[in-house]
Amino acid sequence: MTILHGYWRSSAAYRLRIALNLKGLDYDQISVNLKDGHQRDAAHKALHPQGFVPVLNMDGEQLIQSPAILEYLDETHPEPALLPGSAADRARIRAYAAVIGCDIHPIQNLRILQYIRSEYGQDAEGVKAWCQRWISDGFGALEKMAEADNRSGPYLFGAQPTLADIYLVPQMYNARRFGVAVEDYPHLSAADEAARAHPAFEAARPENQPDAPEDGH
């Protein structure tokens, strides 16, 4: 049995839900309530030493860190490929993922936002401004990358969803949460719209998860 330990609004867990759905792999979910701090419980830290999500139990393995798990899924279940094309194509797809996974998402996730609230006295507006600043900075670079690639779409890197879209869609979800003007990034917005219409992405939406609260917060 494949089990995903995650949280409905975790970007990293969202990525894995998309990938598992694209691969046609069945899985059960165990919710780790980040809002209530359950990621810091001893039981969860026994699964993930950093106290993060996601954790994936699959094929008798216990796997952590979404970039590593996504590559594992592509290596063990190669169709449809998340990293298709030539070596140069795969490097460019990884670059999209890295801008989001390394340079945008980590500095606007929950633990960072909690820290700037508690240590620097930022209120909700200050936190929102922080997120807007760094998301917009990264999106500006991604938009230029997409312009330079000049792919026909409809996805970020061509006719089929790839690892780039798996990273993009959760980050666009976060951008809308924090009031970023996503319409300022037409290539990203078009790819996001196309991906969200795909059944694998739709099923992975945070609001469609069993632990999503009725009020959406």
pLDDT in tens, 73-96: 999 999 999 999 999 999 999 999
- Answer whether residue 209 is part of any domain: no
**Cα dihedral sign, 95-108-56-61:** positive
| Predicted pLDDT at 49 | 97
Query: Could you report the per-residue pLDDT of 95-106, keeping only the tens digit for each?
Result: 999 999 999 999
Report the distance separating Cα 104 and Cα 8, nearest Å.
Answer: 19
What pTM was estimated for this model as a whole? 0.97
Q: For residues 72 and 175, state if they share a domain.
A: no
Residue 43 shares a structural domain with residue 94:
no
pLDDT digits (tens, 9 = 90+) for 113-153: 999 999 999 999 999 999 999 999 999 999 999 999 988 88
Average pLDDT of every residue of the chain? 97
The pLDDT value given to residue 150: 86
The CATH code of the domain that includes 193 is 1.20.1050.10
Q: How many domains in the chain? A: 2
CATH of the domain at 43: 3.40.30.10
Q: What's the gap between Cα 6 and its chain centre?
A: 12
Amino acid occupying residue 129: A
Residue 214 pLDDT level (bands cut at 50, 70, 90): confident
* 18, 111: one domain: no
What the block records as the tokens of 183 is 């319409």
Contact indicator for 162, 23 with CB cutoff of 8 Å: no
Average pLDDT over residues 14-26: 98
| Domain extent for 185 | 87-201
Q: Are residues 68 and 94 in the same domain?
A: no
- The enclosing H or E element of 29 equals strand 28-31
**According to the model, what pLDDT value does residue 95 have?**
98
For residue 194, the SS3 value is helix
Q: In the structure encoding, which two tokens stand for residue 172, read together? A: 């666009």
Residues 193 and 119 in one domain: yes
Cα–Cα distance for residue pair 115/176, rounded to 1 Å: 22
Q: Which amino acid is at 113?
A: L
Per-residue pLDDT at 216: 76
Q: String of b and e for 201-214 (b: at least 16 CB within 10 Å)? A: beebbbeebeebee
Task: Say whether both 94 and 112 belong to one domain.
Answer: yes
User: Same structural domain for residues 95 and 184?
Assistant: yes
Indicate whether 48 pLDDT > 80: yes
pLDDT of residue 92: 97
CA distance 20 to 216: 23
What is each CA distance from 106 to 52, 155, 187, 213, in whole angstroms?
12, 24, 23, 24
Tokens encoding 182: 């996503």
